[in-house]
A = this chain, B = another copy of it.
Amino acid sequence: MMHFCSACGAGISYRIPHGDDRERAVCDACNTVHYVNPRIIVGCLPEYEGHLLLCLRSIEPRKGFWTLPAGFMENGETTEQGAARETWEEARARVADLALYRVYDVPYINQVYMFYRCTLVDGTHGAGPESLDTRLFAPEEIPWDELAFPSVYRALASYLHDREEGDAFPVQVETILRRRDAGG
């Protein structure tokens, strides 16, 4: 919740600006409208010799659970660059041949996930600061009951299904509606 105008420091009111149709944070002094919009989480499904790379989270939320490398997209980068950057930061792995695979809308937390499938360049990986461990899992080794987020579960399940079907990997957009303990 915003209390002060980041432009002039005066107090904020929540009201519907002229010509708008929803409540915004508006400055009482300089009238700046402070828009708040959904954020993008970019991530990878990194494959190497049939195995998939997961990271054991060292931070909350879901510390101690396995996740795909993913994080908030930064200004100045593309979604693909962001997905590769997160994979380096969290799993110390270089990736290639990135292709968009899944978009997950998660409206109850105002997030949009974009997962890219890709391959590890040389198979090396290691824990970055937000990971306790990284590991390449064969499909039958995936720790389904220890995954951090519904988006990770869905992306992995869809990917392995599509791979069995024969490498078509159609892009799909899905909505994650139900709030679970696991979060977004």
Contact = CB atoms under 8 A, between A and B. Distances in A.
Interface of A: 2-9, 12, 19, 22, 25, 34-40, 72-81, 100, 103, 105, 107-108, 110, 112, 114, 129, 170-171, 173, 175
Contacts of A129: 19
B103 A79 contact: yes
B72 A37 contact: yes
Nearest to A12: B6
Given A40-B40, A78-B175, A79-B112, A6 B35 contact: no
A171 B170 CA distance: 8
Copies per complex?
A: 2
Contacts of A5: 4, 6
A28 to B, nearest CB: 12
A173 B112 contact: no
A97 to B, nearest CB: 13
B7 A7 contact: no
Nearest to A2: B6
A81 B81 CA distance: 27
A126 to B, nearest CB: 17
Given A2-B7, A76-B110, A81-B107, 7 more contacts: A38-B73, A40-B40, A40-B112, A73-B112, A76-B107, A76-B108, A100-B171
A22 B74 contact: yes
29 contacts: A2-B6, A2-B7, A3-B9, A4-B6, A4-B7, A4-B9, A6-B6, A6-B12, A22-B74, A36-B75, A37-B40, A37-B73, A37-B75, A38-B73, A75-B107, A75-B110, A76-B107, A76-B108, A77-B107, A79-B105, A79-B112, A79-B173, A80-B105, A80-B173, A81-B107, A100-B103, A100-B171, A103-B114, A170-B171
